[in-house]
Amino acid sequence: MSPTLELQSQVDTQVASSVTSDAIAEFDQYVMSTYARFPIALERGEGCRVWDSTGKEYLDFVAGIATCTLGHAHPAMVKAVTDQIQTLHHASNLFYFAPQGQLAKWLVQNSCADKAFFCNSGAEANEGAIKLARKYAHTKLGIENPLILTANASFHGRTLATVTATGQPKYHKNFAPLVQGFDYIQYNDIADLEAAVEKYSDRLCAIMLEPLQGEGGVNPGDRAYFARVREICDEKKILLIIDEVQVGMGRSGMLWGYENLGIQPDIFTSAKGLGGGIPIGAMMCKSSCDVFVAGDHASTFGGNPFACAVALSVCNTMVKDNLIANARDRGQQLRTGLQAICDRYPQHIALVRGWGLIDGLVLQESSKIQARDIVAAGIARGLLLVPAGVKVVRFVPPLIVSAAEVDQALAIVEQAIASF
């Protein structure tokens, strides 16, 4: 039996009672099989911990995949949800309502952006960025067949345009014909970047990159590379789009991932951590590329009062409770601890990398262990983790995580690795 199947069997045995076979069968009967779910049913959460239907407790280092910024059941979010649902939870964007304007103001005043557009997810935010770049190409650059460069191993979403922008062929399979107007470059490779810019010099309208590739293996951007990207965009008068969906909102140890790289984008996107678990996305841009007019883009639920009020509470709490500094400090503690484990188990672990509280434990290619094995072993011991590809285990706890909780997670990870 493979390590993954063997550990999965262990997890199944330990948590089988968390969901009855009938409940699982009913779930699978009605819900499309788009996720490879682990066999636990989560029922409630508080802080950095969640509990399943049997009452078993887990330390949550997934946080909805870098989404639950304030953890679970945070009082600030509970208050914002309660207050806003009792006041006005939804209205058409044909009207004005304060929470959207207040959230846009906060985002603009705390970034390089001048304007914000709201939607419901990271994929939608990236769709908006792609549309904005294409209109900019047509109206400002006179390009009739614009092209956007993205990076190999990137991830930008699962809509047809954003999955095409995603530089991973496994996500393209069986979805052809893909959207035209994209090509791919090697991440952090200046020579490859310059060759592609030269190749598409008459069509290129934007370069779209993650400051740190999350799904691509927790791979941080290189400052020299991004400085050259910014320089090329300025020289060519094209747009730099930064996808902050997973890295933004303090997770990198800075409010925005681009701040770690010493550059400013023309357009950047946010979602995941922005609402702390309430669905919201945002596409932000500088005035120089704000070419949208009424009717160009829209979202029925985007920027609704409910989501915006909750997101604003997340933003304000992050500042009030100094959570960005906590992300830096706890991230350093986590990477130091993971490196020590790496040093003790070099046959299994190659290296540790990341920023703030988005960190990756990179497994040796020669090791029989895969990321999903470590995740399964963590679940069995009361720790939730998530893979970032086949050989990288991702750590993305809530930004409120404590030093004691980081130490607990490290102890469980070492137990899991030692079990092989």
Residue 386: pLDDT over 80: yes
Residue 10: pLDDT over 70: no
Residues 233-284: tens digit of each pLDDT: 999 999 999 999 999 999 999 999 999 999 999 999 999 999 999 999 999 9
What is the mean predicted confidence (pLDDT) over 410-416?
Answer: 98
Query: Which pTM value belongs to this model?
Result: 0.94
What is the mean predicted confidence (pLDDT) over 80-100?
Answer: 97
The domain defined by 75-320 folds into Aspartate Aminotransferase; domain 2 (3.40.640)
- Gap between the Cα atoms of 230 and 241, Å rounded: 10
- What is the reported pLDDT for 14? 46
Same fold, 3-73+323-418 and 75-320: no
- What is the reported pLDDT for 16? 46
Helix (H/G/I), strand (E/B), else coil: 36? coil
- What is the reported pLDDT for 20? 58
Q: What angle do CA 343, 344, 348 make, to 5 degrees?
A: 85
What is the mean predicted confidence (pLDDT) over 67-88?
Answer: 98
- Indicate the CATH number for domain 3-73+323-418: 3.90.1150.10
Torsion of CA 53, 57, 59, 64, to 10 degrees: 10
Which alpha helices (H) appear in 111-222, and where do they start and end?
Answer: 122-136, 160-165, 169-172, 190-199
What is the mean predicted confidence (pLDDT) over 218-227?
Answer: 98
**Domain ranges, ordered by start, for the chain:** 3-73+323-418, 75-320
Model confidence at 363, pLDDT cuts 50, 70, 90, reads very high
Model confidence at 26, pLDDT cuts 50, 70, 90, reads confident
- What is the reported pLDDT for 25? 80
Helix (H/G/I), strand (E/B), else coil: 163? helix
- What is the reported pLDDT for 53? 87
Mean pLDDT rounded to a whole number for the chain: 95
What is the mean predicted confidence (pLDDT) over 406-414?
Answer: 98
Decide which of 140 and 18 is more confident: 140
- What is the reported pLDDT for 246? 98
- Gap between the Cα atoms of 38 and 404, Å rounded: 26
Q: What's the DSSP call for residue 363? A: E
